[in-house]
Amino acid sequence: MEWVVKLEAISGWGEVETIEVGRIQRRVVGLTAEEVGLKLAEGKELLGELGRLVLQTQMEEYTACARVCPGCMKLRRQRDSRTRKVQTLFGTITVDAPRIRVCPCMNTWGFEDVSLSPPAELLPDRCTPEFRRLQAELSAKQSYREAARLLAMLLPCEPPNHATMRNRTHHVAAELESRPLTTPKAEAETFFPAIDGWAIAAVSACLARMYSNP
């Protein structure tokens, strides 16, 4: 028996493209209990390929739309072709990240050659926010090495090292701490900054009161 998983991509201008994601095969005669259902390795492989196809086609359309000048609506010229690696929950994916020349109508600096890269501006740290948040959440509840092991075991992402897990946990905690303290209590987000492997649950407003009342 065979299953074929396909992805149908419909662009913003109506073009339809069908891409094969992967195939799963099972025998009928001599089937064993170990072959029943979808295996973790197969699921990770399918998710990894699906994530790659979705991100690559998404960045292609995003870059194509970004070439249109918002001022005069003319198509801006492409300066060069290059790629960029993006870390996601479903693996490190290489996407096209060409540099696009700034339209003369928008070039108020007076420079002769100014260009931009839409994917680089969208994801400056080469990582999706969801992946970074999940790394921080897992790292706040166990050691950094254990959090990295769990991520690699359950998801098709590349195994991150403990230093990356620690740095991204601190980065997310700093972002939460920097938020204004006017958030209603019912909507306040609880976060877990990790200190030497111990998780401390806190809310931004609670931290502010704690520091203001020693």
d(CA 6, CA 46): 10
| pLDDT at 198 (0 to 100) | 47
| pLDDT at 211 (0 to 100) | 46
d(CA 157, CA 88): 7
Please report where in the chains the tokens 């960029």 appear, as a residue.
84
Pull the structure tokens for residue 29: 């005669």
Distances (CA, A) of 29 to 32, 35, 172, 185: 9, 12, 52, 60
Interior CA angle at 107 toward 106 and 111, to 5°?
A: 170
Strand partners, 9: 17
Q: How far apart are the first and last CA of the chain?
A: 68
**Low-confidence spans in the chain with pLDDT less than 50:** 186, 195-208, 210-211, 213-214
Q: What is the pLDDT of residues 53-111, one digit of tens each?
A: 999 999 999 999 998 988 888 898 888 889 999 999 999 999 999 999 888 787 766 66
d(CA 172, CA 138): 12
| pLDDT at 170 (0 to 100) | 85
SS3 187: helix
